[in-house]
Structure 1
Amino acid sequence: MNRTGEPSVAELMAQLAANAAEIAALKAEKEALSARVVKLEEELELARLHRFAPKSEKHVDRLFDEAEQVANEDEASGEDGEVVDLPETGFATIEKPEGKKRGRKPLPEHLPRERVEYDLADGQKACPCCRHQMHRMGEAVTEQLHIEVKAKVLQNVRFKYACRHCDRTGINTPVVLAPMPA
């Protein structure tokens, strides 16, 4: 009853067994690859931890775990609003270091100071926009150490001028600073 071109039952059973063996091999390979992916992900996380985590022994994870454990115990006991004393870990308390200040240090206050003032000429005190008279609004003081026979500090004072008329009526208020000679 076997038609021509159709495989026999024995051939189908052999092909089915070969397919089952191939499927089993593929499943084993898939399991091995998934285990390798998990291992590589753990290694990557460990490498990131070593690269970006704090290096000091002061920042040990167990400190946080103890606080977490105390918080969990409080939640379990149902106490709300009470301040809980954390257990003593034996580590020194960490104080936040102050940031370094940028720029130069100021010159010592005990040095004598000589004030040298630079002002605009009367012709330059007119507003460049509206030609009204500008008022002195402040000064820019720079200090430099000047050493001859005796050390002293020269204070170079450059007066700043602004126009009250432009300040009240205009959008732009020009500020003019007296130039300092070279």
Structure 2
Amino acid sequence: MGDFGMARECAVRIAAERDIRLLEDSPDIGTCEGAATIGLELDCEFDAVLVALGGGAMATGVGYVVKTTRPGTEVICVQPERAPALTLSWRARRVVTTETADTIADGVAGRFPIQEVLDDLLVVADDATLVRESSIIAGMRLLLEHAGLVVEPSAALGVAAILEDRDRFAGRHVVTVICGNNVDAGSYRRWTG
């Protein structure tokens, strides 16, 4: 079984062989700009925004808009502790790769951060935190029970971060970006009960 890193290597090889343009999620500026529109939609006052962190397009796009329009707002990136490559890179201020990315949040399960994306993330992110698988599942359950939302694990990362560090967010106006419901129905039922 492979992962996104292996899939990317295969896509790069095929694109080169066939002389076609490879549109990659994070290194392509258009994907970051598209994600930035989420930041434009946040038309309210808030103290912090929690954004899922995988390849970095959504985090850098949203982070750029938030830091431009609300410079005092905290931008916090959230990644599963079992797929921590970009968070470890942000903390080390250099690219750190990992051997595995074994998480249910497969939408953010990268192992090979891209230097240019890290450079952008270092400008816009105030923090990068890791969350446990059990918290991701608890976040998915809460979103189903209280908001009627069926979400993929990656979409529940912000809720998971709040569950793991309630004191940090208590009394603050916090926004989390919840997007994506690309989840296998059987796995979802198993996780959420």
TM over 0.5: no
Larger radius of gyration, structure 1 or 2? 1
- Kindly indicate whether structure 1 or structure 2 has the higher relative contact order, using CA contacts under 8 Å at least 6 residues apart: 2
Q: TM-score, normalised by structure 1?
A: 0.16
Which is strand-richer, 1 or 2?
1
